[in-house]
Amino acid sequence: MARSVQKDDSYLSKVLKHIPSEIVLAYVTVEGILKSTYHNDKATLETALWYVSLALVIITPLWLYRVEKVHRVSQLLLSTLSVVFWMFAIGGPFQYLPWYRPALGSIALPFYTLLTPIITGRTS
């Protein structure tokens, strides 16, 4: 029996392992609220998503350092970069850039997950 492999899911799950679940929850919740509130105002929605994304990227290393007690700089950087790649993969505010295509996120994820252990020397 042939085994079905969903690479995008495994790559996305690898990236998500580096992101605090609170950051993911905050983004998904706020994005949902903003989309339902500003569904008729694309410019405001886009601006708000960029601000929310930037804020969460800044909060990520602070959260990890203060709340999760992560003190390795490499882990703080990796997790912060993972937030950016995750947002890029799901569209996030990047979806409003004229050059963005959803396939780009699917292409970026495997390269990111391959390069991460090469850079850090760790696989998880």
Q: What is the pLDDT along the chain (124 residues), one digit of tens a residue?
A: 444 445 555 666 767 777 889 999 999 999 999 999 999 999 999 999 999 999 999 999 999 999 999 999 988 998 999 999 999 999 999 999 999 999 998 899 888 888 887 877 765 5
Helix (H) or strand (E) holding 46: helix 42-66
Amino acid identity at 39:
H
Per-residue pLDDT at 51: 98
Per-residue pLDDT at 9: 52
Which residue ranges make up each domain of the chain?
7-120
Side-chain-side CA neighbours of residue 27 (13 Å): 26
Per-residue pLDDT at 81: 92
**Spatial contact of 52 and 27, defined as CB atoms under 8 Å apart:** yes
Amino acid identity at 87:
M
Q: For residues 113 and 9, what is the distance between their CA atoms, to the nearest angstrom?
A: 12
Per-residue pLDDT at 118: 80
pTM for this prediction: 0.82
Taking the CA atoms of residue 74, residue 97, residue 110 and residue 73 in that order, the dihedral angle to the nearest 10 degrees is: 0
